Amino acid sequence: MTAARSGPAFSIRDIPFSMYGSWFDISPVVAEKTYAEDLHLVSHQNGMHAVLCFVPLDTATGDRAENVVEATPSRLSWTGAGGRIDLAYEAPDTVRLRGEGLDLRIAAAANTLTPFSGSYFYRDPVDGAYMFTSYETGRRYRITVLSGTVADSSGTEALGSGDRGVTVAASASASANANADAHGVWEIAVEEFDSARRPFTPSATFDEVVATAQRQFAEFVDLVAPWRSSGTPAAELAAYVLWSATVRPAGLVTRPAVLMSKHWMDKVWSWDHCFNALALAPGSPDLAWDQFSLPFDHQDDSGALPDSVTHSEILYNFVKPPIHGWALGRLRRRLPEPLHLDQAEVAETYDRLSRWTDFWLTTRRAPGAALPHYQHGNDSGWDNATTFDPQRVIVTADLAAFLILQLRELAFLATELGRSDDAWQWTRTAEATQAAMLDQLWTGDRFVARAVHSGDTWSTSSLLDLMPIALGEHLPEGVSAVLADRIEAHLTEHGLATELPTSPHYLPDGYWRGPIWAPATVLVEDGLRRAGHQRLADEISARFRTLCETNGFAENFDALTGAGLRDRAYTWTASSYLLLAEAHELRRTANVAPTGG
């Protein structure tokens, strides 16, 4: 066990500081692509809302102190003007702060009008703590001074616009005392809760709080990435991205959930969750199963999964591709043997997956059609891929391929449950769907898309057109060989470009029109490997792993420079790195010849 290690350092601009289970983080990111000068407490309940602003102050002048922020999984630190402030999570809803040589101003995040927006600020007569009541999050944020003094407060009980906050400093008489602030040290606790709570009483020293957080993260990373080595240098940071983005059940989130990010992409989308589940499965199987199951908890009457789920909102206006059969098969193989699903769980999962599949076979197949269709690029997960440029309501080979894999997984589950008639029907539908895909969409050297209404067909330079490689061993050898050659043309120094860089439609930061994405990488790598194209699969894995080790876990990456783009703390990117790194390590160690007698 490595309980004493502090864990990897990281940039607070790229990765928010948070804790497993918490619904808030500490970050300069206060809105989509919006960075503040100072760090904020940012809540993800009822949406993303910056609630409190933390401003270090020079003790001599009272002015904002220029500072440097450093972060590890267990401690966040400001240093500047000869002083230091440290912050650590004592619990998912509580942070402790300790300062020496710097004062701290904690203020409402914005000067907004109350009582209709912003925060109402008052001093609680029961315990003397200072309280911010946030209209946006619907929660309270209590500041309790444990040592030191309140040097200033403003805006208490005020309505309308104006500054609201409190300044904490060491006691003026510190040099004469023997208390915790005897050397100019102050300490506070900041809590988030719903309505009321007993006065805060510390149960541990600040150093003990840090040590506990260190131990909790060390235990998590040892479970999730026990295989890590010097050859997988980003494994611990990837584990932190997952650990820190996990929230406890609340609101519409029915299980512990790994959000895509605790920046602005603070939701669970109904395909992103599959990659997080797969990465967590061997070491944290219960959490992994919760990730896979969460969208199915909100399956509607038609069998559709929601597009996304978050604390206070579920969206059904789009769906996501049916990769869940592919994911479930891999997930069950990755779960530790004693924790494989029992028959009741298999039956429930079979029912849910059947309904999701029926959604595509009924509501998404036009009368007389053999193949399902997307209604918009958002349904594919590749929102603006060039495949959707000519028309939006289209039949595509990637959708057919994912559905075929899901049908085959259902046949496997039905056999396991003793439902032989169901198994036969699922198998027959899978074979018919694959035959239709090859007959209607394969031209001999490429897959085309077809408009549902006009019947027009076209091909593009999008990697989406090559995603049927996910069928792996189920593809005819000639088809997989052609796809492999075309996939290799998308491979840049850093990974798989989602649009050929030579395409006139290629955009360096064009979302699915060029940048490298983790889910496409994992699906392609897996399909190539199962189809026997090991060399290319190895190369794709190596380049993506190097990309993450160099440039972190961004939502996507510039295919030509490798620069991280958009949200810079994306969990499915971290999970994809863990999946590829683990598989690489297992292959490497399996190939090491045994030594000794």
What's the mean pLDDT in 500-516?
Answer: 98
* pLDDT band, very low/low/confident/very high, at 95 (cuts 50, 70, 90): very high
Give the span between the Cα atoms of 16 and 39, in whole angstroms: 10
Residue 66 burial by CB count (10 A; 0-12/13-18/19+): exposed, middle or buried? Answer: exposed
pLDDT digit string, tens, across residues 248-286: 999 999 999 999 999 999 999 999 999 999 999 999 999
Give the span between the Cα atoms of 477 and 474, in whole angstroms: 9
* pLDDT band, very low/low/confident/very high, at 342 (cuts 50, 70, 90): confident
pLDDT digit string, tens, across residues 276-321: 999 999 999 999 999 999 999 999 999 999 999 999 999 999 999 9
Greater pLDDT, 6 or 567:
567
260-288: b (≥16 Cβ within 10 Å) or e = bbbbbbbbbbbbbbbbbbbbbbbbbbebb
Give the span between the Cα atoms of 516 and 555, in whole angstroms: 9
- For residue 34 the two structure tokens come to 């919006």
pLDDT digit string, tens, across residues 449-469: 999 999 999 999 999 999 999
Q: How confident is the prediction for the chain on average, in pLDDT?
A: 94
Q: What is the pLDDT of residue 5?
A: 65
- Tell me the three state secondary structure of residue 447: strand
Domain 226-586 sits in CATH at: 1.50.10.10
Least confident piece of the model among 56-65, 206-215, 338-347: 338-347
What's the mean pLDDT in 437-450?
Answer: 97
pLDDT digit string, tens, across residues 167-222: 999 986 544 344 444 458 999 999 999 999 999 999 999 999 999 999 999 999 99
Q: What is the pLDDT of residue 4?
A: 44
Strand 185-193 relative to strand 149-154: parallel, antiparallel, unpaired?
Answer: unpaired
Amino acid at 357: T
What's the mean pLDDT in 147-155?
Answer: 94
Q: What is the pLDDT of residue 327?
A: 98
- Percent of the chain surpassing pLDDT 90: 91
What's the mean pLDDT in 321-343?
Answer: 89
Q: What is the pLDDT of residue 247?
A: 98
Residue 28 burial by CB count (10 A; 0-12/13-18/19+): exposed, middle or buried? Answer: middle
What's the mean pLDDT in 475-502?
Answer: 98
Residue 596 reports pLDDT greater than 80 = no
* pLDDT band, very low/low/confident/very high, at 110 (cuts 50, 70, 90): confident
Residue 125 reports pLDDT greater than 70 = yes
Asked: is 24-175+183-215 a CATH 2.70.98 domain? The reply is: yes
Q: Output phi, psi for 570, to 5 deg.
A: -100, 125
- Percent of the chain surpassing pLDDT 70: 95
Least confident piece of the model among 73-77, 78-82, 397-401, 476-480: 78-82
Residue 406 reports pLDDT greater than 80 = yes
Q: Judge contact between 29 and 83, C-beta under 8 A.
A: no
3-state helix, strand, coil in the chain (%, to 5): 35, 25, 40
Residue 350 reports pLDDT greater than 60 = yes
pLDDT digit string, tens, across residues 358-393: 999 999 999 999 999 999 999 999 999 999 999 999
Q: What is the pLDDT of residue 6?
A: 74
Residue 1 reports pLDDT greater than 90 = no
Residue 538 reports pLDDT greater than 70 = yes
Domain range annotation of the chain: 24-175+183-215, 226-586
Give the span between the Cα atoms of 523 and 322, in whole angstroms: 13
What's the mean pLDDT in 313-341?
Answer: 92
